[in-house]
Amino acid sequence: MSECHVSVGKISGVFGIKGWVKVFSFTDPRENILTYSPWLLKRNDETKVVAIVDGQLQGKTIVAQLADINDRDQAESLMGWDVYILKNQLPKALKGEYYWSDLIGLSVETIDNVNLGLVDGLLETGANDVLIVQGDRERVIPFLQGQTIINVDLEAGKIIVDWDPEF
């Protein structure tokens, strides 16, 4: 997948008999996924571009009607497909805010210049997000700006952390 695409969800099921799909959304709030159209759907080496015709929050689930998907069988054929959008469809992040996709792959160093590895992913814990850093071993570092996170430099591809490398 090209760097210019961002993963925003996954088609997780079908809704009704008219071709609507259930979507597990990675956006916050989850219904924001409906504001981005078209979607690039990907499964293995197969891709397709689909436009959103309609959608809504249905309980805790997002449901969407996609162009040219008109019955349950067509909707079922999309189950398990990943949903991507073009990165330029996202609003520009405010100063001091970052999209997770911008942080993945950045180098992580301590304030004493000890390289801890690369950001492999992030997790939402409820209290705060945490960086998953893969290096000589896996580290989980709270993403607390001004505390554990001292500086994020997207241009340099580096995050400086106040973190004990032995922890």
Q: What does the pLDDT read at residue 3?
A: 55
Q: Domains in the chain, start-ordered, CATH in brackets?
A: 5-88 (2.40.30.60), 100-161 (2.30.30.240)
> Strand (E) positions, 16-60?
20-25, 39-43, 46-50, 52-58
Q: What does the pLDDT read at residue 1?
A: 45
64-76: string of b/e by CB count within 10 Å (b at 16+)? bbbeebeebeebe
Q: What does the pLDDT read at residue 78?
A: 98
Task: Kindly give the confidence (pLDDT) of every residue in the chain, 167 residues in length, as a single tens digit, with 9 standing for 90 and above.
Answer: 445 899 999 999 999 999 999 999 999 899 999 999 999 999 999 999 999 999 999 988 999 999 999 999 999 999 999 999 999 999 888 988 998 889 999 999 999 999 999 999 999 888 899 999 999 999 999 999 999 999 999 999 999 999 999 98
Q: What does the pLDDT read at residue 144?
A: 96
- pTM comes to 0.75
Q: What does the pLDDT read at residue 39?
A: 97
Residue with tokens 């162009």: 67
* Contact of 131 with 159, CB cutoff 8 Å: yes
